[in-house]
Amino acid sequence: MDLGLRDKVVLVTGGAKGIGAAIVRACSAEGAIPVIVDRDAGAAESLLLSLGSAPCAFFDAELEKTSSCERAVHLAAQRFGCLDALVNNAGVNDGVGLASGSPASFVQSLERNLIHYYAMAHFALPLLRQSAGSIVNIASKTAVTGQGGTSGYVAAKGAILGLTREWAAELASSGVRVNAVVPAEVMTPLYRQWLSQFPDPEAQREKIVARIPLGKRMTTCEEIAAAVVFLLSPQSAHTTGQHLFIDGGYVHLDRALG
């Protein structure tokens, strides 16, 4: 299906690896122009090379710094003259818990996982209004299920779901759509790193996938990316304020199925 994204400029934070890289590849495959905003220059350059001659760009940014967010949007607009979509994706489940963390580390976790979502949207907003564009926020199932031991990350992801609805309401009159994609268990580099902390990572993985009703497997990065590009596209022109769970039924179906 042609999703109607050809030549659309799509800025993806955390676009160098994992889910972000899959989104970049999916956008490029649809003829869009992905703009990677990430601090991992090596991974970003490798991804750009894999896209061949397809138009794309990379801007190095430390997203915890508001000035870096503003600079990334400015450079994208300067390079391409417009911005049609923003995918807020960057973040890390950093394990800042209620007992294990501190008020200071909690604030730092929000800076890693939440504040740049607002900053990127704020600075991109004039351009998105001009293009009647779209925002997709990547959230997490932990926002609705909890996890334990990760208060900062869960607070950020819960806020992201709330902001998705708030921005959709605020921007509806501008024609700018805002939606969230909510992954659960996806094998990204960060997820693999988390698994490696267990005495038997493979046994832990099998324990997790046994609880996923559809297919008893993890969701792929490409499946998350497919949902994102659909929400960015004119094919979802009347969809806004939605939380789309791509998780094989992990969150909402009866646990007895697992």
- Give the mean model confidence (pLDDT) for residues 73-86: 98
pLDDT tens sequence across 39-53: 999 999 999 999 999
For residue 255, what pLDDT band results from cuts at 50, 70 and 90?
confident
Rounded-to-integer distance, Cα 90 and Cα 24, Å: 13
How is 186-208 classified by DSSP, letter by letter? B--HHHHHHHTTSSSHHHHHHHH
> Among 99, 63, 93, 105, which residue's Cα sits nearest to residue 156?
93
**Phi and psi angles of residue 95, each rounded to the nearest 5 degrees, phi first:** 65, 30
Give percent above pLDDT 70 in the chain.
100
Pick the catalytic residue from 117, 118, 153, 250: 153
Query: Catalytic: 153?
Result: yes
- 33 has a pLDDT exceeding 90: yes
Give percent above pLDDT 90 in the chain.
92
- 1 has a pLDDT exceeding 80: no
> Among 88, 85, 134, 126, which residue's Cα sits nearest to residue 240?
134
pLDDT at position 35, please? 98
pLDDT at position 31, please? 97
For residue 258, what pLDDT band results from cuts at 50, 70 and 90?
confident
Average pLDDT, the chain: 96
The amino acid at 252: H
pLDDT at position 94, please? 94
pLDDT at position 188, please? 86
- Give the mean model confidence (pLDDT) for residues 90-97: 95
pLDDT tens sequence across 162-220: 999 999 999 999 999 999 999 999 988 888 888 888 999 899 999 999 999 999 999 99
pLDDT at position 73, please? 98
- Give the mean model confidence (pLDDT) for residues 73-84: 98
pLDDT at position 201, please? 87
Under a CB-based contact definition with an 8 Å cutoff, are residues 62 and 84 in contact? no
Which domains, from first to last, does the chain contain? 9-184+220-245 (3.40.50.720), 187-218 (no CATH)
